[in-house]
Chain A
């Protein structure tokens, strides 16, 4: 290709048939690549026509704006049930109306198919108005046009004579001449012009390899076996216009520019309106919002509020009105109001906590004026992005809110945002391997090796060692393919909770398709796409801790009559802080993890802000950024902290000179390097994405030159930059940390003052958090709360508080915990409900009475016996099982017929058998700890108890054993594995270094009972056993089934 060629044909061609990799397993280039290439080749315009999809449209738009290329939106469809490619229809958008028509067409075709598929027949087409689109009919190559083709053309020509074209695609095949003849015949018959198209699948020829891989995958075969299913050559790329001029008749090329001139639609012009029905008559959206906020402000500050608050409120109002966001706030307010009306706890998280308006509307619970929060981070004047409000709801009741939204706005106006699932090393390897004919087993091994390391040239040998022999050339080719495939979209999935709502039907704005879950629909755009075209979404998220807190409030109300609320929890409670400082935090939100617990005694949080820091600092980002140790040191000696300048002192003083929050990084950039607010925000966004996309380097220069100009030394600038990098996508914004810290404080307060209620609430909200029920119960008992076993005579469905067995606890009484029937494995919720209901009528006299009145099936009967929940009715487990196996549900008519049987003497189970059965059925035991039963043998081996271990001096040699309750291999710990053991006295943290892991891999990763010889690592009250020798003692457990929670 020569430059002259470009010039001569400049702008003479527009491509109307081009799929990107958003036509999954078809297109082999990103939309951006296609746009850039089309611009480089001097195309007049490019139409992105993914198959029944507009999912790549926003990305293409952004790229097209960058290079000033005319982007035309469109989509292609295979007609009929068999996607036999007999004929394809390409629909191109001409104007706003055409865009709506296309969105509707895609939506109805997608909604008619299952997830990821679509169905469009000629009859379906008849029901759609496509008058504002160009319609291109693309017949199959060199085949006599069939019935479908003729029917489609005659129909279209009849309805849209001016808008219909026949599309000619030529790829230097052997039958090009024949194909052109066929099309010429069609043109004569239907009297519509022929237009040239490239039927483009990739932006450059070298992607043929990937296109072949996709073709093979689509047909469930390998490239070597795919034969003529593959394209005959690599001509389906964006070809230079000069080449096209050699190939296509001139009038077909000229037609493209004519059609392109008729396309005037720009995606930026779609007008999106937030639902308006929330505004009562007589109000505008702003006046109504003001009303609500003023009301809220009075309840937030009953004694009046300061001028600072007033000023910020006015600032926010001004911006919200200027940006026309009042409807958005009203919508979020309405959802939160509904949740509160239903008694569902909710709390805004993320950047919305920066806003006083959100605080007054009850969306967030944190007073932003008390923390130095940046409203800029939430909404800014210069940033053309809609605000993003994320609200957490109780995880078990979020579905109610989702259903409320659907009911209120209707399914046509509410849908979830999409999440584009992209290829990652493992999935890429899997698909490439499959297409190249590797066996499933080989693929597993290669994918495993590949995801854990980059190829340093020895991958081939490594694989050979594991029995996978790949030719060097094949391996290289595979790696190259995997590299290209990384980041390609694979399919659309539903966003965790991001709702898009609109005033008009959504399908006029963006295509809607089916999600995997029944009755869920998703739009074809993801979060970033929404931002770009100004659609607003509300994140309706689920948080287990909110369920737990709500339950805890209910239990406390039931026991003491005290009605607690989140806002009503007393601040600055010294008992609570003392508990936190002692790392007595099992079950407390966020600060219960092993890493957090080892930090607490060193950080010694004494006020709310310390919790905010704790939440933000014990995370992979700050740990990798090396912020933890400087901060700890600064806390020990705050006087020694120095600041590079007075200006920076203002930014960093609160966190003792160490930047901990995203907002601080932004502010440093503004204060020290003269970034504008929106530049700083750009830096933040790159910070979040640099691991994925790179692109932090330009910021480094900008930051360093800015800092140099302000007289900061090079060294400091470098350090700041490294810290920014370490933040990666893990750094917390302060507003987010504040919201979370509030939950930390509330849950810690509840644990401290209402340990029984808190434990019951935790158990009833499982699964959540870091610990299994066994550890929660054990911790609760260690705090002096009596825990009683699940028992059909007394237990409710959920775990609850009781005084004397079976009676509610008296307000003045210390409550005990009665485990609920829901802890029993194999007992359905319905059966548990039936038991409670039957008992409500009268007490059970014996097992037969229980079974008959509660109507228990065999599964429920066995579950009860094995859980030892029949002890009060039938004695020990053995007898209970034997008795209940004989019971059956019968009506009274036959009740007398069953003969009495003579009692059989069954031996009671041994303690070991009971403990094992407890674990198998409920995951915990209230008897002796399993390790206690083998203590004598362990003593003989020289194993010390956990409590003795904790008293051992630093660096002394220790010997411990316990059940494995947790394994962790944090990315920030350089390959070190943390194992938590539990014996009858306490939990023991074991550190396994990489070299030790290599020696005892099997034991460390699979054993359920471990014995460890090592040395004590002590830092104040925090103890770790540094492992040297590890022995798998699992056989000692016998039939006992334990479970470890493993985090990798």
Chain B
């Protein structure tokens, strides 16, 4: 007995969102036009449905949050859910919608577990409550083969025990579009009519693959689907819809993230001891936390509490756009308890913050930083202070010859020069005119290098943007070595 779950709005449901009042759809491009591939319940109520052109959807709901389809988070979410299904079966197959699969799906054998769950009814209601809790919208079907379960899952009627395969319209079957169209154009509308046709006549028209498919459908041939294998560790990434800012919002999202971890661990019947939690920010280094338990646990709630506590002490540098979780090895509770607990030494993650932490422990956290070059003409925007060494990406080795000379020491706030002091300075070079940044804090300045009587070389400027008719003011901005 197989249970098939088809997730019609998977491209949307697979991605966790902060709350928004707007209706939301996921779209994908087909022949240069955008089509809706998944819609939130609110969008469905105004008549938006998958397959509709985005322009038509907008017509029905002008205030619409539109997201592009991204297969990666869909795949990650389905892989997590497969772990959950593992709790019901060790024959699990999953796929997300692509050119060959028309709808994201999860199929697993439940016959062997019926006893464990006290029969089909309780098992199905457990499945339903799990999925409702996770807020995944789905349609279910039961069948003797994965293919027939999927066919039933395509009907719009829900689980109806008295329905037979023969009653299903052929568009419930997983046939290729040309075969489907040719059959429909021949007036063959129901599965029983299709199954009643002489095999030789079918082979002649559609080749062997159709017969194979029909045999699989009826369970007369091995199903041929790739089965899921439990991964050695929990390693996944949750893409968030829209950036999550406040810690409050984050708490909400984390609840969902750990819910999924919980069902996964339950399904996999496993425990973990270390969990690395990474909050990914846009254009800022990610915030990483390592949650280390004193003993392996399968209690995700416990891990969540630890995480929430730790997060209260962390100041987020920027909104969060994704959350990554990576565990150490999954330990099967039944078999591995009592073995090797102490022997596990966590070597992989240990190295990086060690040195930094020691220095910072002495000098204070904020006393240590890294300066990164930023390409910007405005001197005060041309560098950025980082908490940790930046990635090598910002390296700029190309153009040192033409880079303008800059003082080593730049004042945080330029200091105004009195007229008396001005009179003492002698001109070295300039002006260098810098005029940029109109899109945020625009500035227009003439910079000069000047010599102080004491021999120090200063970098001073006159603000052309503010220079009126009256007398010009100069500011010191930096000091050459």
Contact = CB atoms under 8 A, between A and B. Distances in A.
B435 A174 contact: no
A223 B431 CA distance: 25
A322 interface: no
Contacts of A917: 185
B383 interface: no
Contact of A886 (B204, B374, B375, B438): B204
A953 interface: no
Contact of B185 (A223, A466, A881, A1002): A881
Contacts of B60: 1002
A1001 interface: yes
A234 B435 contact: yes
B375 A177 contact: no
Most A-side CB within 10 Å, residue of B47, B374, B377, B430 = B377
A430 interface: no
B62 interface: yes
A865 B181 CA distance: 11
Nearest to A464: B63
Contacts of B198: 901-902, 904
A882 B186 contact: yes
Interface string B429-447: 1111111101110001011
Given A436-B439, A877-B185, A174 B404 contact: yes
A465 interface: yes
B401 interface: yes
Interface in B157-200: 178, 181-182, 185-188, 197-198, 200
Interface string A218-236: 0000011011111111110
Contact of B59 (A901, A902, A1001): A1001
A209 B447 CA distance: 21
Interface string A151-173: 00000000000000000000111
Contact of A1006 (B56, B186, B201, B444): B56
Nearest to B21: A467
B34 to A, nearest CB: 10
Contact of B435 (A233, A436, A1006): A233
B439 A1002 contact: no
Most buried by A among B185, B376, B436: B185
Contacts of B133: none
Interface stretch (A19-27, A139-147, A696-704): A139-147
Contacts of A879: 186
Contacts of A174: 404-405, 429-430, 432, 447
A467 B65 contact: yes
A172 B187 contact: no
B65 to A, nearest CB: 7
A142 B185 contact: no
A1001 B375 CA distance: 49
B221 interface: no
A397 interface: no
Interface residues of B, number: 46
B350 interface: no
Contact of B402 (A141, A441, A466, A467): A141
A144 B401 contact: yes
A1005 interface: yes
Interface string A449-472: 000000000000000011100000
A141 B206 CA distance: 69
B439 A862 contact: no
A907 interface: yes
B246 to A, nearest CB: 17
A866 interface: yes
B59 A227 contact: no
Given A228-B377, A901-B201, A878 B187 contact: yes
A466 B436 CA distance: 32
B205 interface: yes
A521 B446 CA distance: 48
A1006 B188 contact: no
Contacts of B404: 173-175, 232
A172 B374 contact: no
Interface in B388-425: 401-402, 404-405
B472 interface: no
Nearest to A878: B187
Question: Which applies to chain B's interface (DSSP): helix, strand, loop or mixed?
Answer: mixed
Contact of A906 (B182, B187, B402): B187
A228 B406 CA distance: 14
B440 A224 contact: yes
B184 to A, nearest CB: 9
Contacts of A507: none
Contacts of A465: 63
Given A142-B402, A901-B198, A904-B197, A865 B433 contact: no
A907 B196 CA distance: 14
Contacts of A175: 402, 404-405
> Which residue, of A235, A879, A1006, has the highest number of chain B Cβ atoms within 10 A?
A1006
Interface in B51-95: 56, 59-60, 62-66
A365 interface: no
Interface in B26-65: 47, 56, 59-60, 62-65
B22 interface: yes
A212 interface: yes
A436 B436 CA distance: 14
B277 to A, nearest CB: 28
Nearest to B27: A441
A885 interface: yes
A1024 B457 CA distance: 85
A227 B374 contact: yes
A906 B438 contact: no
Interface in A193-231: 208-209, 212, 223-224, 226-231
A886 B201 contact: yes
Given A885-B205, A886-B204, A906-B187, A172 B433 contact: yes
A435 to B, nearest CB: 9
A650 interface: no
A865 B184 CA distance: 12
Contacts of B188: 906
Contacts of B435: 208, 232-235
Nearest to B67: A441
Interface string A854-884: 0000100010011000000000011101100
A878 B402 CA distance: 76
A909 interface: yes
A208 B438 contact: yes
A399 B314 CA distance: 71
B328 to A, nearest CB: 38
A249 B188 CA distance: 90
Nearest to B283: A225
B187 A1005 contact: no
Most buried by A among B431, B436, B438: B436
A917 B59 CA distance: 29
B22 A232 contact: no
A729 B418 CA distance: 64
Nearest to A208: B435
19 contacts: A140-B402, A172-B446, A208-B438, A227-B374, A232-B377, A232-B435, A233-B435, A233-B436, A467-B22, A467-B64, A467-B65, A866-B185, A877-B185, A882-B205, A902-B198, A904-B198, A908-B187, A1001-B59, A1006-B59
Given A143-B401, A175-B405, A886-B204, 15 more contacts: A171-B433, A173-B433, A174-B430, A209-B438, A234-B435, A235-B435, A466-B63, A862-B182, A878-B185, A879-B186, A881-B185, A885-B205, A904-B201, A1002-B59, A1006-B59
Interface of B: 22, 47, 56, 59-60, 62-66, 178, 181-182, 185-188, 197-198, 200-201, 204-206, 374-377, 401-402, 404-405, 429-436, 438-440, 444, 446-447
Interface of A: 140-144, 171-175, 177, 208-209, 212, 223-224, 226-235, 436, 441, 465-467, 477, 858, 862, 865-866, 877-879, 881-882, 885-886, 899, 901-902, 904, 906-909, 917, 1001-1002, 1005-1006
